Amino acid sequence: MVLATLDQEQTKNTPAVQADPVTGLFRMMGDSYPENSFEFFAPLIEWIEAFLETNTEALTLELNIAYMNTSSVKAMMDIFDLMEEAFQQGRKVQVAWFYDSRNERVVEMIEEFQEDCSFIFEIKKINDACDQGA
């Protein structure tokens, strides 16, 4: 089975998603509060499951999500559970979650996810161009 590249544009209530089966890089950027989280996340979870089953490359999730509704949080927990299981079986998986330095409140949510993961899970502050004097 050849795993396809994912490329979904960001909408008002769903994040942009880009996933590359060659490099193992899976990116999500934007807020997540879809009307039907199961419908939105099901193909993403299926992609991650298929990648972990068919590919030996490392899986890296790069996230930049500042807001998630409750059902999106549940779906993200399912994704991290898949990654944790793969990690326990010797797979290389990691998360880098970026957040805007002007929104420190999101760190609390991210840290709650991080607590349940034994694989590499980095929380990275990013600065807006205005913060850098540009």
pLDDT digits (tens, 9 = 90+) for 33-80: 999 999 999 999 999 999 999 999 999 999 999 999 999 999 999 999
pLDDT at 1: 59
pLDDT at 116: 93
Residue 89 has pLDDT above 80, yes or no: yes
123 pairs with which residues across the strands?
Answer: 97
Q: How confident is the model at residue 131 (pLDDT cuts 50, 70, 90)?
A: very low
Using a 10 angstrom Cβ sphere, with 0-12 exposed, 13-18 middle and 19 or more buried, the burial of residue 80 is: buried
